């Protein structure tokens, strides 16, 4: 929670005389929101934007645009990961797993990748 306080996502908690932090039910709800948004792939900057929109009673259209942008980024990442998986699966399928490493299709396949192809993944 201190991390989120430093990032400005949570207000600094009140403290007891002995220095313990006191969090309100609203603070706990906000923390739950932050954690759930993180699990959905939102960055801390995007979470701050969502919280700001909520606090300012922003429009649903603004929230939807932010979520659609994140969804598009996730779709792109899925395409990239699928391409990486397919490339690795192709290398694995060509390797019998028998014999010495010399001539291993996986090693040779990785070595044969040019820099441009690697950047795509």
Among 61, 93, 82, 80, residue whose Cα is nearest residue 121: 80
Question: pLDDT confidence of 121, banded at 50, 70, 90?
Answer: very low
**Is residue 77 predicted with pLDDT exceeding 90?**
yes
What φ, ψ does residue 21 adopt, rounded to 5°? -80, 140
Q: Is the pTM of this model over 0.85?
A: no
Tokens of 96: 């019998």
94 contacts 109 by C-beta, under 8 angstroms? yes
Give me the CATH code for the 1-58 domain, please: 1.10.1660.10
- pLDDT mean over 2-8: 89
Q: Report the 3 state secondary structure along 16-71.
A: CCCCCEECCHHHHHHHHHHHHHHHCCCCHHHHHHHHHHHHCCCCHHHHHHHHHHHH
Residue ranges of the domains in the chain?
1-58
């Amino acid at each position: 929670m201190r991390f989120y306080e430093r990032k400005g996502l949570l207000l600094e908690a009140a403290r007891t005389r002995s220095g313990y932090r006191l969090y309100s039910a609203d603070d706990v709800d906000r923390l739950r929101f932050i954690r759930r948004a993180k699990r959905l792939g939102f960055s801390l900057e995007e979470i701050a934007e969502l919280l700001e929109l909520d606090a300012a009673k922003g429009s649903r259209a603004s929230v939807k645009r932010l979520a659609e942008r994140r969804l598009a980024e996730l779709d792109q990442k899925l395409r990239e990961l699928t391409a990486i998986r397919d490339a690795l699966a192709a290398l694995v399928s060509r390797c019998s797993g028998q014999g010495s490493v010399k001539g291993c299709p996986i090693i040779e396949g990785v070595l044969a990748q040019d820099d441009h192809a690697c950047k795509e993944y």
